[in-house]
Homo-oligomer: A and B are copies of this chain.
Amino acid sequence: MAQKPSKKFILGADVGGTNIKTVLVDGRGEILAAVKRPTLGRRGRDALIERLVLTLKDTVKKSGAAMRDVAGAGIGFASPLDPGKGMVFNPPNLPGWSNVPLRDILMQKLKMPVSLDNDANLVALGEHWKGAGRGARCLVCLTLGTGVGGGIVLEGRIWHGAGGIAGEIGHMTLVRNGRRCACGNKGCLEAYASAQGLVLRMQELLKKRKVGKGGKITPENIGKWARSGDKLANQAIKDTGVILGVAIASIANILNPDVVVLGGGVSNLGGYLFDPVREEVKKRAFPKAVEELKIVKAELGDSAGALGAARSLMLSLDG
């Protein structure tokens, strides 16, 4: 297929607390170049913006293309933000940021259209575009990592809600008087289905049985122990899966998605996690909501956010 003569590529960036990940893609989402660099957020706001601009330019250079061939840049940021206004509010992991009009700053520096969105929303959009949720009418994505990030893609577009903060599925209340969550609420999904939530569950079970454990309690080790037959590790993962299943059953009845994508470190626990999730959803949700619901592992890993960012920019150009 002949390509259009100019502006045929799109940049995508995923700016996290630890790394900046970028891609340059064509209109079909094929990756021409990718770069990953430490964010170095401690160096302050202006230094990070310069670093991001440089990394985006280097990504284009690496591909052999020129900046004039790039139609725009989509940016994902690990922060509460207003996608409509292109404004970053207060990233929890980056000092010196507060109400920064990042989109406009980048548009000036890059001299091209820029779009800005929450990283978890863009992971959802990335998985819809090129990953585990291709073709879904309604995709819900949960990233089970340090926190539980959520994103909702309805008919190919991120659902932002009335105020730009929709998709915070990690902060639905699962246990009314449950564990305190970092957001201030009690009993959020995040407090149970994040890496830390799983570790806490393992610690609770160990304490109850009054047994110790050689080796640090991490999601990876809990997975390893479960695979080698450790019943408590198996139980900790199962309990996490059940509570995740309760949440997804509610989401199934409310939004009736056709695909739920689970990503992040905790999603690497395979059937130990997915089996209780699926069982609980089947037990609780309307049969019509379960029949055609696929609950699947994310496919794009590290590049989901940057790919979703590029896609988001494309959609913003289409209007």
Contacts and interface: CB of A to CB of B under 8 A. Distances in A.
Interface in A260-319: 283-286, 288-289, 291-293
A296 to B, nearest CB: 14
B173 A176 contact: no
A256 B154 contact: no
A149 to B, nearest CB: 12
Interface stretch (A123-131, A158-166, A203-211): A158-166
A110 interface: no
Contacts of A70: none
Contact of A162 (B136, B246, B249): B136
How many interface residues does chain A have, given as a range?
35 or more
Q: How many copies does the complex hold?
A: 2
Contact of A258 (B163, B186, B250, B258): B163
Nearest to A288: B165
Contacts of A80: 286, 288
A179 interface: no
Sort A-B residue pairs by CB-CB distance and give the 10 closest, nearest first: A161-B256, A162-B258, A172-B250, A166-B256, A168-B253, A171-B253, A137-B162, A185-B284, A165-B288, A138-B162
Interface of A: 80, 136-138, 150, 152, 154, 159-169, 171-176, 183, 185-186, 243, 246, 249-251, 253-258, 283-286, 288-289, 291-293
